[in-house]
Amino acid sequence: MLAFILGVLMVLGALWIFAMATGWGLPYDLLLQGLHWLKWNPLESLVVAVFLLLGGLLLLVRPQDNNDRTFRTSSGSDGEVRISQEALEEIIARSATAISGVMQVQSKLRERESGLQIIVSCQYEQGILIPQTSKKLKEKVKQDVELYTGISVIEVKVFVRRLERVRTARVR
């Protein structure tokens, strides 16, 4: 949220400078009036400065978002077990490529309140029956993720990126 606010302020600042650079006098006059106001109102200027300083320090010191997402598995009451996004993606890839005709797999995970939504982007061999293979893929991925992790899967979506010809080895 803070990054969004900072982004909006930067865009507004850029538009302000653009307006001044194109010769529009109003932004320049408003800027001068604001600077004069800051000069003649030291207490209010101090409050603005402290607010900006704390906001800047918050941006610098706040913990960075960690790309290592984890998902809570359904474990007993004796503690918590979490599984990394990378491990889940590996389970999905192995499940999908175990199906005949599925070649390359990438997945995206979305955590919902009722469970996990999985989007599988894959490449099939040419000549594969897409609806039947996709149905098998969805069932296998859902079954394996729930079996190996205990995480409830509410939906598996399949996106077929492309079809690839199978290259057969030539015998000479």
Going residue by residue through the chain, which has 172 residues, state the pLDDT in tens, using 9 for 90 and above: 667 877 888 999 899 889 888 988 898 899 899 899 989 999 999 999 999 899 888 877 776 655 568 888 776 667 788 889 999 999 999 999 999 999 889 999 998 888 899 999 999 998 889 999 999 999 999 999 999 998 899 999 999 998 887 666 566 6
What the block records as the tokens of 57 is: 């320090």
The letter for the amino acid at 3 is A
User: What does the pLDDT read at residue 137?
Assistant: 95
Give the integer Cα–Cα distance in Å for 79 and 85.
20
Q: What pLDDT, on a 0 to 100 scale, did the predictor assign at position 66?
A: 53
- Return the closest-CA partner of residue 6 out of 44, 55, 74: 55
pLDDT of residue 27: 86
Domains in the chain (CATH in brackets) are: 2-61 (no CATH), 70-164 (3.30.70.1350)
d(CA 52, CA 38): 14
Does the CA dihedral 87-92-97-99 come out positive or negative?
positive
pLDDT of residue 20: 87
